[in-house]
Chain A
């Protein structure tokens, strides 16, 4: 048993934190969110140069093939910085899916530019009524003489207008399996409709109207089992739990600092027991949520059964992140409620990631089935 990071992992964690505190300041997060803008490409390029985009990929494609805890500390730090990057969607979800299900030629084609920061991908699997991974998606794919034709709608596609390709799930007529295709958002018949969420995230509805997809952009050259997609989403959830735990810890630290400095009745508000107890509860939640996230990640990495661990990490970390924000609002009072102050950036993020890739109900339902 070992619950500490190795010194290499700790070094990467520190480096990511330094980089983000320089490049991804709350002011930048705020600007992106106010303008629904995508991450400046230079920042993504720097992340590529630092090697972070290569972490989950095999050596053969230019990847670092790193251990999962290293990747997790990067994601945790991104969560701390109220992650303005498409890292989780683009690298942890889409890139890794290509590595999982792509043919050798496809991996050679797509992964190197992804790792070099030249290719951005967005996941487009969410349908209006379907839950992620549940059931067969009604978006359909048909064979035609020129290749494949795609029809349907996807919702809450993150960063769609800035991405070079969308990774879209679709059903073939007469196939119980799922097809995953890469489609350019600029292809003919693709329409992007901006959605305006309380999270201020850059999200779109994407409509596909008889879109021609070249045969070689069909991942794995044919349909794949739905379970492959479900596995990838579970992995994403485990890493996203580390991001939520990181976000929660950041909000807790901001709140503690404020409680030590703000005075009322002639003393710091952090000396009032009612305030201390709220913060003690958040600390306890953050500790256990963090442990749950890393336990799920290390189990997945070891190839052990982890469906339950992932569900627990997801539920625990999201509830914790939200509770940390709600508590922070209470303790910051009016100061934390003002547009110019930063707290609400995290509050919005906490709600956004709670529902991303499938909300807590889906995971509690899974636990009910597993118990």
Chain B
């Protein structure tokens, strides 16, 4: 048993670090900090650079244009990106591409993967509907077969990225007579297809997401991923990858370290917040839990690497990370006081406004990607084999 990275992996880390040191500018960091989920021109350019240099497909098989390295190495890469403050939430690469590699036809892999790698193809997720949130299988968007095509009609909501993505990955009902979970299929098609309308909605954190209306949208039958009516399985695989990615530890670690550094700064009277044993203990308790999250992330990366799909582990990781992020932001603001309410760009802002931003983002982390209640159901039922209610 060995929890450490190999010498080769450490060397790989150095290589990435060098590349990022050479290519990440303060202007890029700043753009990412202010632009929320809509990448600005520098971020788009940076993404293309990553694709060109082969950094997007580190863990992908070589035949699909990847580097054929391990998932551990891929996770090292995202860790290093986070350390540079490039909190890069691109699910196309971290979840959908991996799902395509696992489930798509050879033709579809040829069609999509090279474009994903070059950074030209970005996909948004069309799962949620106004009346289908946690109970996704109740969704009502329909896809009806017509010759070589499907005709899709319905509405999606909270479709993040639909205003800049090129494609949508959409779950729709293809067999209204089958039991709920067994009549759904996944499609992927360009958002520019006639009949698609995207409208903005803004979140509490101030970033944009969307409503997507589908009015008799015609897509070729080849746009379907996996077998007809196997969509629920397809998105389960994609969601497991998504949760591993959402439950990232690095960003939380980085921000904890920044909070700790703030607490150690001395004021004019030579006193530091860290002198207070109450504050010490609160930070120690956070530190212990962040380390526990790190260990679980290590385990899920190792599992994916060994060809296992982390499932209860992925759900547990997402629960831990989202709850810890909220606790860190909430306690961090308490510890630093009113200054920590200040947002990015404000005079006197500590930690580049991260605590304020994270505090506003945290509620979403706990219900997005499948709510934490649903995740606990998954752990109990799939992990522990308890009967469904």
Q: Determine the residue in chain A with the shortest Cβ distance to B386.
A: A270
- Contact yes or no, A276 B288, CB < 8 A: no
- A295 near B3 (CB under 8 angstroms)? yes
Interface check A288, CB cutoff 8 A = yes
- In the complex, chain B residues whose CB is within 8 Å of the CB of A295: 3, 295
Mask of B3-15 contacts with A, CB within 8 angstroms, 1/0: 1111001000000
**Interface pair B387/A283, CB less than 8 Å apart:** no
| Complex interface residues of chain B between 1 and 51 (CB less than 8 A to chain A) | 1-6, 9
* Chain A contact residues, majority secondary structure: helix
A273 with B313: CB separation less than 8 A:
no
Residue from B281, B295, B377, B389 in contact with A364 in the complex, judged by beta carbons closer than 8 Å: B281
B residues near A196, Cβ cutoff 8 Å: none
A350 at the interface (CB under 8 A from B): no
- Whether B285 lies near A287 (C-beta < 8 A) is no
Q: List 7 A-B contacts (CB under 8 A).
A: A1-B302, A5-B1, A260-B387, A271-B387, A287-B296, A295-B3, A367-B287
- Shortest B274–chain A CB gap in Å is 8
- The size class of the interface chain B forms with chain A is 35 or more
Within 8 Å CB of A3, what residues of B?
A: 1, 3, 298-299, 302
Least CB distance from B293 to A in Å reads: 7
Q: Which of B2, B383, B386 has the most CB of A within 10 A?
A: B386
Residues 272 to 295 of chain A near chain B (Cβ within 8 Å): 272-273, 275-277, 279-281, 283-284, 287-289, 291-292, 294-295
* Least CB distance, B271 to chain A, in whole angstroms: 16
User: Is A268 on the interface with B (CB-CB < 8 A)?
Assistant: yes
Cβ of A367: which chain B residues have Cβ within 8 Å of it?
A: 284, 287-288
B376 part of interface (Cβ distance < 8 Å): yes
Interface residues of B (CB under 8 A from A): 1-6, 9, 72, 260, 277, 280-281, 283-285, 287-288, 291-293, 295-296, 298-299, 302, 312-313, 316, 319-320, 373, 375-377, 379-381, 383-389
Task: Tell yes or no: A42 within 8 A of B by CB.
Answer: no
Contact of B3 among A1, A281, A287, A371 (CB under 8 A): A1
Complex Cα spacing A163 to B320, Å: 45
Inter-chain contact B1/A2, CB cutoff 8 Å? yes
CB contact list, A343-357 vs B, under 8 A: none
Contact B299 A287 (CB under 8 A): yes
A259 CB–B CB distance under 8 Å: yes
Which among A256, A267, A272, A294 is the interface contact of B384 at CB below 8 angstroms? Answer: A256
Nearest CB of chain A from residue B317's CB, rounded to whole Å: 9
Interface pair A368/B281, CB less than 8 Å apart: yes
B288–A279 CB distance below 8 A: no
B302 to A270, Cβ gap below 8 A? Answer: no
Q: Which of B2, B292, B376, B381 contacts A289 (CB 8 A)?
A: B292
